[in-house]
Every structure is written in C-alpha cells, then in structure tokens.
Amino acid sequence: MPDISIVIPAKNEANGLASFLPILKALYSDAEIIVVNDGSTDNTSEVCQKNDVIEIINKYSLGNGGAIKAGARCATKNIVVFMDGDGQHDPKDIERLVAEIENGYDMVVGARDKTSQASVGRSFANRFYNRLASWMVRQKVEDLTSGFRAVKREKFLEFLHLLPNGFSYPTTSTMAFFRSGYAVKYIPIIAHKRIGKSHINVLKDGMRFLLIIFKIGTLFSPLKLFVPISASLFATGVLYYFYTFVTAGRFTNMSATILSASLLVFLIGLVSEQITQLVYKK
C-alpha cells in the first residue's frame, strides 16, 4: 500500500465513525486520515480525538460536497480515498481501490450491487441516473452516486471549482473525469446498512440530482442535450406544417415558430459545444 489520504465527510456521524475508525487505523496505520466535521452537533470531535485522526471543523454545515473539497485541499498524499462516515463502506475495500490506481487508473469507484441500495426507490433512481450519465459520456457508468472512491489528487483538484456543495460531488467528478478522457474504473463492493438516519431526502434531492446531471451535461456534452430537443421541435414543426397544409392548404405562423425554435436550440447547442472544446483544449 502506498501512502494515501483518506477523507471522510461527517455531519452528526459520531456513531458511524466510532464503529470503523479503529478498524481504519489498524489496517492503514500510515495513512493520513482526515475527518471533515461539517457542522456536527454530536460528539464527532471527541471520536476524532480518541482515534487520533486529523479533524477539519466547519463552523456551519457546507454540505457533503463542501466537506469533500475541504478535505481534498487538506490532503497531502498523491492518492486520496473518499468514503462516507456512516459505516456503509468496508475499510478493507480501500486496498482494492488503491491497487487499481497503482495499475494506472485515475479514478476508481466502488460500485454498489442491488442488495446495497437503501430502498427500492433509491435503486430505481440510481439505475436511471446511471443510464442517463452513460449516454452523455458514452461510457458505462455503473454507480454514478457512490461516495466511495479513490482518485489521483492532482487530477481531482482540477475540477474542485466545479463541485457543488451538496450531495452530488460524485456525479460531477465522475462526468468530469470521463469528459476529460481520464481513466475511470468501477469495482463491485457491498455497502452495509448505514448507522443512523440518512440526510438525503429521496424526492427533494432526487430532483436536485436530476437537475445537476443536466447541468453537468450542458457543461461537458452540450449537443447530447440540445440535439434531441432541437430534433423534437423540428419534427413537431414539420408534422404540424403537414397537418395545416392538408387541412387548410397553407403554412402557418405556428409552424414557422416551431421550426425557428428548433434551429435556435441547435445553434445554442453548437456554440455551447465549441465553448466546451475551448475549456478542455488542454
């Protein structure tokens, strides 16, 4: 095992940290273990002190992504492992993630199986997100929202300014790595039942995830979103023109408006694609 930094965002996860930090310390005694206390009101600090790990304290909650960014800035090792503080991730799997980084991958993600999903709704949503992201980046995304991953620090820091402060840092970082042509690999893991109550609201955060995927899609692959919309509008305009020509024998203003909108959407997508190419020119 090379020297690694292990970053753990935690908001009121004292029970989870107490369960696996001793195991983490025993398995990776030379690792730099960083717990980002994201405005916790429980005894997270006491658990960190007891286990002799580095603690970064946010005076108020910045969100999971904000905690990840704080930990990534503090990390000093070339390889950084991110894992949740709720006890879901098995510390023994870290060695498997890091081994693939040593084999040349830039990011290695622990992909949860069906039995590791918190609920049927979460499982369905994750499958939908995975397929949508796979279509956008033209690579198979096996677990878009997994928070258990190992990365090369210098490459992860390239996208730090893109990461939102909420729960979607895995989504953004995954699509950013794929868009930049960095090597990403998924390895299967089994996630245990979390200790304590989840901070994620399925409906509220699910819609937020969906919006973020579209936002990231327009940032990394604009034509993937704009072309289908443009094509749909164009087909609608043509069909409406055919209908009015057959029924009224004329070309209506509505047809002209729809066809013009399809052209504008396509041109916006084309310009966005050129901007994206300039951003990733290096």
pLDDT, tens digit, 9 for 90 and up, residues 105-150? 999 999 987 665 555 666 777 787 788 778 777 888 888 888 899 9
Complete DSSP assignment for 158-195: GGGGG--SSTTHHHHHHHHHHHTT--EEEEEE-PPPPS
Kindly list the distances between the CA atom of residue 154 and the CA atoms of 55, 173, 184, in Å, as whole numbers in the listed order.
22, 13, 15
C-alpha 225: how far from its chain's center? 19
Q: Residue 80, class by beta-carbon neighbours within 10 Å (0-12 exposed, 13-18 middle, 19+ buried)?
A: buried
Contacts of 216 (CB under 8 A, 6+ apart): 171, 172, 175, 176
Question: pLDDT tens-digit profile of 237-279?
Answer: 999 999 888 888 888 888 899 999 999 999 998 888 888 777 6
CATH number for region 4-218:
3.90.550.10
Average pLDDT, the chain: 85
Q: Where are the domains of the chain?
A: 4-218, 222-279
Q: How would residue 1 be classed by pLDDT, with cut points 50, 70 and 90?
A: confident
Query: Which whole number is the average pLDDT over 145-171?
Result: 87
Cα distance between residue 271 and residue 100, in whole Å: 37
Instruction: Tell how many helices (H) and how many strands (E) occur in the chain.
Output: 10, 7
| Lowest pLDDT segment from 92-96, 99-103, 110-114, 163-167 | 163-167
Average pLDDT, integer, range 50-75: 92
Q: Is the pLDDT of residue 189 over 60?
A: yes
pLDDT of residue 222: 83
Residue 185 β-bridge partners: 108
The confidence score (pLDDT) of residue 195 equals 67
* pLDDT in the model for residue 218: 75
Band of residue 49 on the pLDDT scale cut at 50, 70, 90: very high
Residue 92: pLDDT band with limits 50, 70, 90: very high
